[in-house]
Chains A and B, each alone.
Chain A
Amino acid sequence: LAKTTQPISMDSYEGQEVNITCSHNNIATNDYITWYQQFPSQGPRFIIQGYKTKVTNEVASLFIPADRKSSTLSLPRVSLSDTAVYYCLVGGAAGNKLTFGGGTRVLVKP
Chain B
Amino acid sequence: EAQVTQNPRYLITVTGKKLTVTCSQNMNHEYMSWYRQDPGLGLRQIYYSMNVEVTDKGDVPEGYKVSRKEKRNFPLILESPSPNQTSLYFCASSSLRDRGLETQYFGPGTRLLVL
**What residues make up the interface of A, taking CB atoms closer than 8 Å to B?**
1, 30-32, 34, 36, 41-46, 49, 51, 87, 91-103
Contacts and interface: CB of A to CB of B under 8 A. Distances in A.
B106 A44 contact: yes
B59 A97 contact: yes
B74 interface: no
Nearest to A51: B99
Contacts of B35: 100
Contacts, number: 71
A57 to B, nearest CB: 11
Contact of A98 (B4, B40, B48): B48
Interface in B93-115: 96, 99-101, 103-109
Nearest to B104: A46
Given A44-B90, A94-B96, A98-B33, A87 B42 contact: yes
B100 A87 contact: no
A42 B108 contact: yes
Interface in B31-58: 33, 35, 40-45, 48, 50, 56, 58
B92 interface: yes
Nearest to B59: A97
Contact of A41 (B44, B100, B109): B109
* Chain B interface main SS type: strand
Interface residues of B, number: 27
A77 B110 CA distance: 33
B99 A93 contact: yes
Given A32-B100, A92-B99, A97-B48, 8 more contacts: A30-B100, A43-B90, A87-B42, A92-B101, A93-B100, A96-B100, A98-B33, A100-B44
8 contacts: A30-B99, A31-B100, A34-B104, A92-B101, A93-B99, A95-B56, A97-B45, A103-B43
Contacts of B101: 32, 91-92, 94, 98
